[in-house]
Amino acid sequence: MSNDRPPLERVRNIGIIAHIDAGKTTCTERILYYTGRTHRIGNVDDGNTVTDWMEQERERGITITAASISAVWNEHLINLIDTPGHIDFTAEVQRSLRVLDGGVVVFDAVQGVEPQSETVWRQADRYDVPRLCFVNKMDRVGADFSRSIEMIRDRLGANPVAMQIPVGAEADFVGVVDLVEMQMISWGDELGARRVYEEIPENLRSDAEIARTEMLESVSEHDDELLEMFSEEVEPTLLELRAGIRRATIANAIRPVYCGTALKNKGIQPVLDAVIDYLPSPIDVPPVTGINPVDGQSVQREADDNGPLSALVFKIVSDPYVGRLAYFRVYSGRVEAGAKVQNTTKGRRERLGRVIRMYADRREEVSEVLAGDIAATLGLKNTFTGETLSDLSEPIILENIVFPEPVISVAVEPKTSGDQDKMGLALQKLSEEDPTFRVRSDQDTGQTIISGMGELHLEVIIDRMLREFKVQANVGRPRVAYHESIRKSVEKVDYRHVKQSGGRGQYAHVVLKLEPGKPGSEITFSSKIVGGVIPKEYINPVERGIRSAAETGVLAGYPVTDVSVTLYDGSFHEVDSSEMAFQIAGSMAFRQGLSRAKPVLLEPMMNLEVIVPEVYMGDIIGELSGRRASIGGMELRPGGVQSIRSTAPLAEMFGYATALRSRTQGRGVFSMEFSRYDKVPDAVSEAVVKGSM
Backbone φ and ψ of 316, nearest 5°: -115, 135
Q: Is the pLDDT of residue 365 over 90?
A: no
CB neighbours of residue 487 within 10 Å:
10
Helix 617-626 to helix 656-663 angle (10° resolution) is: 150
pLDDT at residue number 55: 44
Rounded to 10 degrees, the C-alpha dihedral 133/150/146/670 comes to: 70
Q: What is the pLDDT of residues 518-564, one digit of tens each?
A: 888 889 999 998 888 999 999 999 999 999 999 989 988 889 999 99
pLDDT at residue number 359: 60
Q: Quick one: pLDDT band at residue 65, thresholds 50, 70, 90?
A: very low
Give 560's DSSP letter: B
Residues 6+ apart with CB under 8 A from 419: 471, 472, 473
The more confidently predicted of residues 272 and 354 is: 272
Residues 6+ apart with CB under 8 A from 210: none
pLDDT at residue number 50: 39
Task: Find out whether 597 and 492 touch, Cβ atoms under 8 Å.
Answer: no
pLDDT at residue number 135: 94
pLDDT at residue number 115: 66
Q: Is the pLDDT of residue 1 over 50?
A: no
pLDDT at residue number 157: 84
Q: Is the pLDDT of residue 574 over 80?
A: yes
Share of the chain above pLDDT 90, in %: 30
Q: Is the pLDDT of residue 256 over 90?
A: yes
Give 248's DSSP letter: H
* CA triple 610-616-622, angle to 5 deg: 75
pLDDT at residue number 44: 45
Q: What is the pLDDT of residues 601-611, one digit of tens each?
A: 999 898 888 88
Q: Is the pLDDT of residue 85 over 70?
A: no
Residue type, 264: K
For the chain, give the mean pLDDT.
Answer: 83
Residues 6+ apart with CB under 8 A from 490: 513, 514, 593, 596, 597
User: How far apart, in whole angstroms, are the C-alpha atoms of residue 23 and residue 26?
Assistant: 5
β-bridge pairing 506-516 and 374-378: unpaired
Query: What is the reported pTM?
Result: 0.68
Highest mean pLDDT among 225-229, 254-258, 419-423, 552-556: 254-258
Share of the chain above pLDDT 70, in %: 88
Which of 76-85, 135-144, 205-214 has the least mean pLDDT? 76-85
Q: Is the pLDDT of residue 258 over 60?
A: yes
Section 246-251 average pLDDT: 94
Helix 238-250 to helix 224-231 angle (10° resolution) is: 130
The more confidently predicted of residues 56 and 319 is: 319
pLDDT at residue number 692: 60
Q: What is the pLDDT of residues 586-595, one digit of tens each?
A: 999 999 999 9
User: How far apart, in whole angstroms, are the C-alpha atoms of residue 33 and residue 40?
Assistant: 7
Give 643's DSSP letter: E
Rounded to 10 degrees, the C-alpha dihedral 460/462/467/472 comes to: -160
pLDDT at residue number 67: 56
Which of 42-51, 80-89, 343-352, 510-519 has the least mean pLDDT? 42-51
Q: Residue 119 class from Cβ within 10 Å (0-12 exposed, 13-18 middle, 19+ buried)?
A: buried
